[in-house]
Amino acid sequence: MASINGLRPALAAPQRIGIVFSILSSVSYGSAPVFVRWAYDAGAVPLTLLASRYVVATLVFLAVLWLAGRPIAMPKEHRFGGVIAGVFFSIMAYSYLFAIHRIPVSLAALLVFTYPLPVALLGRLRGEPLRPSRIVAIAAAFIGLAVALGVEIGELDLLGIASATVCSLTYAFGVFYFSDTIRGADPMVVTLHATATAATIFVPLAVIEGSLSLVPGTALGLVGLAGVSITYLLGVLAFFAALIRIGPLKAALLAQLEPVVSILSAVLILQEQLSLVQSVGIAVVLGALMTLAR
DSSP the chain: ---HHHHHHHHHHHHHHHHHHHHHHHHHHHHHHHHHHHHHHTT--HHHHHHHHHHHHHHHHHHHHHHTT---SPPGGGTTHHHHHHHHHHHHHHHHHHHHHHS-HHHHHHHHTTTHHHHHHHHHHTT----HHHHHHHHHHHHHHHHHHT----S--HHHHHHHHHHHHHHHHHHHHHHHHHTSS-HHHHHHHHHHHHHHHHHHHHHHHT-TT----SHHHHHHHHHHHHHHHHHHHHHHHHHHHHHHHHHHHHTTHHHHHHHHHHHHTS-----HHHHHHHHHHHHHHHHHT-
1 occurs within a structural domain: no
Task: Give 284 or 272, the one with higher predicted confidence.
Answer: 284
pLDDT for the residue 294: 60
Q: Is the pLDDT reported for residue 283 higher than 90?
A: no
110 occurs within a structural domain: yes
25 occurs within a structural domain: yes
287 occurs within a structural domain: yes
9 occurs within a structural domain: no
pLDDT level of residue 7 (50, 70, 90 thresholds): very low
6 occurs within a structural domain: no
Range name among 49-63, 83-97, 191-205, 274-288 with the lowest pLDDT average? 274-288
What is the domain count for the chain? 1
Model confidence pLDDT, tens digit, residues 119-160: 777 877 777 766 777 777 777 777 877 777 676 666 667 888
Q: Is the pLDDT reported for residue 3 higher than 50?
A: no
Mean pLDDT for the chain? 79
pTM for the full model?
A: 0.75
245 occurs within a structural domain: yes
Q: Is the pLDDT reported for residue 61 higher than 70?
A: yes
Mean pLDDT computed over 10-38: 81
Domain with 65 in it: 14-292
282 occurs within a structural domain: yes
Model confidence pLDDT, tens digit, residues 177-229: 887 777 777 888 888 999 999 999 999 998 887 766 656 667 888 888 888 88
